[in-house]
Chain A
Amino acid sequence: MNFNLMAVFPELLLLALAVVILVVDPFWKDSNRKNNLGWLATLGLFGVILASLLFAAPAQDQLALGGMVRYDGLGFVFKMLFIFTAAVSSLFFMDSEKLANRAEAYVLLIAATIGMNFMASSTDLVMIYLAIETTSIPMYVLSGFMLDDKRSTEAGFKYLLFGAFTSAIFLYGLSLVYGFSGTTQISDMRGFFGTFNPVSGGLLFLLIVGLGFKISLVPFHFWAPDTYEGAPTPVAGFLSTASKAAGFALLMRLFVMAFPQMAEHWQMLLAVMATLSMTLGNLVALAQTNIKRLLAYSSIAHAGYALVGLVANSKFGIESVVYYLIAYVATNLAAFGIIAVFQKSTGSDEIRAFDGMSRRSPYLGLAMLAAFLSLSGMPPFGGFIAKVLVFAAAMEAGWTWLVIVGVLNSIVGVYYYLTVLKYVYLYRMEGEVEEGHPIHSSRPAVIALSIASLGVIVVGVIFSPWFGMATRAAASLF
């Protein structure tokens, strides 16, 4: 039996970091707590990335810890992505008054990250379910973290109800999978789902309900706008990036590894859901007046675009999805970060409130420009190459109609992303008083925004290292 602890090296470090934070927290005075906690968490998380890259990069793919997890490229690439997201998010946590001086916020963030890491690497049904719950429960709490704010408690509660419901359905799907195959090990399932029948079709659907909820795919998306709107903005940012990427990691591993013989069926099912997500997400986003709800619908649409790559069900398809998620994570972190800074300074997250923003803070305006153009798929930002890759993968596999649906949708996207930029750059505040109303941003927020915005550009201009990571990840599935 393989008992290689390196397979869970990042998670062990994360656990240690969480414990350290809890232990040292009571010894700090209130005045220092805010900064100390945030820097400890951030530097700790970056330290975990560094240490993992140095010591724990998998040389060859192998099952580890009794087949509970797989120590492979896919898991490792996604783990690094989650921890990076958590590190940047904790910088945004420092900027938020409600979260900054609460040790439990950082600990919950780290706990959710541990869960995501297992979502990306588990290969056993029991472990998969535990990983999902380990991710979800801290996220429910973080979403409802602002107890004195009705919208936040509503967000947390809604997320909890939907999460519990879909997770129960998912669990039922897992039990059926076990019933048919007699094993909980997904790499042993290949042979058991050879022929398609109504039961195995229903089983696929049950699994998609659970995972579709995590990546906010239509029709399991209803929680997303309310939760994003109500949750503290840095939490919403983390939820829309890392949590979604974790859902994709699990979806890819489960479907590609366990059900290769039923590929045509789940490809079709996912193609339909991708179409619905892109179309509904983009069309409803057109009508939004709140920036966080707009981004929620946009993230529903982006789940659809990324799914286009998975529908291709090829090595290139998986590579394109991983690349898409890398670009999307950087972009959405920047977008939510800007909104967090803006909201803290102005107290509003309505799109109307962005009037004259570029005059109030030119650099925040530019960061917004980069993030929103990247979301709309314009070069030289990450969103362009990411979209080209997923569409190319679908073309390669012969899904031309899905590509056409995708490009038509990206046109709709361009419209509402540019409309937001119109508020930022064109419109003036009432009375044209921008000079007297600058937007202040704290140092952690500036650092985090610089990292995210630079990431958006670097991913969009220099392709090879990121594509290399994507290739490494995809190689573990085929």
Chain B
Amino acid sequence: MQFPIISIIVFTPLVAAVIMLMMSKEAKTEVRVLALAAAVFDLILSGWLYFQVYANPTTAYQFIEKVAWLPILGISYHVGVDGISAPMVLLTGIVMFTGVLISWGVDDRPREFFAFLFLLAGGVFGVFVSLDLFMLFFFYEIAVFPMYLLIAIWGWKVTREYAAMKLTLYLFIGSVFALVGALAMYYANYQMHGVLTFDMLELEKAGFSSAFQYIWFMPVFMGFAVLGGIFPFHNWSPDGHVAAPTAVSMFHAGVLMKLGAFAALRVGIMLLPEGAKQWGWLIFGFAMVNVVYGAFIAMIQTDMKYVIGFSSVSHMGLVSLGFATLNREGMIGASLQMFSHGVMTALFFAAVGMVYDRAHTRQIPELGGMSKPLPWVAVAFIIGSLVSMGMPGFSGFVAEFPIFMGVWQVSSIAAIVASISIVITAAYVLLVVRKAFFGDMPEHLEGHITPIRPLDKVALVTLCLLMITLGTLPGVMVPMVSQGVENVLRILGGA
């Protein structure tokens, strides 16, 4: 038996969470150190996993582990990674690591905070690697409920209760409809082949009838895509971002929204390819609204977190748009965008959190001149802005350019309309940079802005370097992602 690396990655945060909960509530520093140690350990393992897949890109799943869970019903613990999920696992490792660094200052019940954060991380890892439909749901729900607690307990006092409940209900509603669809697939497969199984590799081959796929594609795809922030179910997402504490915003926008898009791809498009072809136009339309409308809304926000929140809606729209093209370029771009946007938003929220912790406001008109006391934050935010507007040399360009190529193949008009969003994005991020980081600092803030901690710098530098690396050397990710996309295209072509 090979070394069960994926299981170790998935269970490290869960075990760490349990250990933390058993520690004394006075042991705040010990809890933080344990959290950091677990995060570093997971980051190293996920990096190693990434480079293993990078060194050997194939269309098949690798590092497969399969253990019977409830064999009578065909439920198994079945994990593996491919070219699409390996970058997602790495992304989760990175966000977990930087999230711990940035949350070092959490002083209200840090034991519970880190434990819930790690439960969330474990759930996220579990979804990205699962090859069993039941297991996917199991971890998906584990990733959802800690969000409620994290936002409601440690969030922004003004909106946290409202936002936490709204988020949880949206995501739960989406997931239960997807679950009903999954059960329908399970029995349809049983009727055709006489085998009860939740194994996604088996279900891919089931060959569901066109009518069946036509009915169930929308509940399944949209059920997951709610978490990807798809229009018209995106409303929970900016509220959630704003109310969440910094590390949770990073997780939420950086990783959790990818979870939705990823599961929509894995379960919606890959298990019901015929349905995807029939409904592709509608998803495409929704995603177009996301991209353009999200960008416009972001432009008129005055709260920095809302700007980033709506920019996430817009950027995640590009991911859905890329998937909806159902062609090679669009899908490669969408997969890269998931990684690129994850790192970028994590950086944005980290930077905004640092500003807010010191200035105690996120209202753009009330800020100014932050680049003097916080040069590291300003540089990081500017790099994030460049990524966000798709500047060549940064990861955003590598991701967005193929998406627009893919969209062009579907409809040139749509590509032109969607590219408007780039201009708007440039407008609103540069506006934030100018008003918040340059210009004159309001008098009452003068002298109150303390420098950031060394740990914060580590987090910012890590995130920036990743974006520049991917932007200048796309070869570190593109080949493996395109192998993963090949597999999706094979399924789409074979249907």
Contact = CB atoms under 8 A, between A and B. Distances in A.
Interface of A: 358-359, 362, 366, 369, 373, 378-380, 384, 388, 391-392, 395-396, 400, 403-404, 407, 410-411, 414-415, 418-419, 421-422, 425-426, 463-464, 467, 471
Contacts of B161: 422, 426
Contact of B179 (A388, A418, A467): A388
A415 B111 CA distance: 26
A355 to B, nearest CB: 13
A358 B109 CA distance: 10
B196 to A, nearest CB: 10
A370 to B, nearest CB: 11
B75 A403 contact: no
B138 A418 contact: no
B177 A407 contact: yes
Nearest to B148: A418
B187 A395 contact: yes
A422 B179 CA distance: 27
A463 B144 CA distance: 22
Given A407-B176, A463-B75, 12 more contacts: A379-B138, A379-B142, A380-B142, A391-B183, A392-B183, A396-B187, A404-B180, A407-B177, A411-B176, A418-B165, A426-B153, A464-B70
Contacts of B109: 358-359
A407 B152 contact: no
Contact of A392 (B25, B112, B186): B186
B169 interface: yes
A378 B145 contact: yes
Contact of A407 (B73, B75, B111, B180): B180
B172 interface: yes
B183 A414 contact: no
Interface in B82-140: 109, 111-112, 134, 137-139
Given A395-B187, A414-B172, A471 B153 contact: no
Interface in B141-175: 141-142, 144-145, 148-149, 152-153, 161, 165, 168-169, 172-173
B21 interface: yes
A421 B149 contact: yes
B150 to A, nearest CB: 10
Given A378-B145, A380-B142, A395 B183 contact: yes
B212 interface: no
B69 interface: yes
B423 interface: no
A403 B75 CA distance: 20
A362 B176 contact: no
Contact of B138 (A358, A384, A411, A414): A384
Contact of A464 (B71, B149, B173, B183): B71
Contacts of A421: 148-149
B180 A411 contact: no
A154 B439 CA distance: 72
Contacts of B149: 369, 421, 425
B169 A358 contact: no
B433 to A, nearest CB: 35
Nearest to B184: A395
A463 B69 contact: yes
B72 interface: yes
A392 to B, nearest CB: 5
Contact of B70 (A379, A400, A404, A467): A467
Interface in B300-328: none
A129 B69 CA distance: 41
The 8 nearest A-B residue pairs measured at CB: A407-B176, A463-B70, A395-B183, A379-B138, A378-B145, A379-B141, A425-B153, A392-B183
Contacts of A396: 187
Contact of B169 (A404, A415, A471): A415
A471 B71 CA distance: 13
A373 B70 contact: no
Contacts of B144: 378
A418 B180 contact: no
Nearest to A470: B72
Contacts of A403: 180, 183
Given A418-B165, A463-B70, A411 B141 contact: no
B112 A373 contact: no
A407 B175 CA distance: 10
A467 B72 contact: yes
A366 B21 contact: yes
A392 B196 CA distance: 12
Contacts of A471: 72
17 contacts: A358-B109, A388-B137, A388-B179, A391-B180, A392-B186, A395-B180, A400-B184, A403-B180, A407-B179, A414-B168, A418-B148, A419-B165, A422-B152, A426-B153, A463-B70, A464-B69, A471-B72
Contacts of A378: 141-142, 144-145
Nearest to A393: B183
Contact of A411 (B173, B184, B186): B173
Given A384-B141, A403-B180, A411-B176, A426 B152 contact: yes
B112 A362 contact: yes
Contacts of A419: 165
Interface string B208-223: 0000000000000000
Contacts of A388: 134, 137, 179, 183
Contacts of B72: 467, 471
A380 B186 CA distance: 21
A366 B144 CA distance: 17
B449 to A, nearest CB: 29
A34 B165 CA distance: 44
Contacts of A425: 112, 149, 152-153
**Chain A CB within 10 A, most for which of B137, B138, B144:** B138
Contacts of B141: 378-379, 384
A358 B142 CA distance: 21
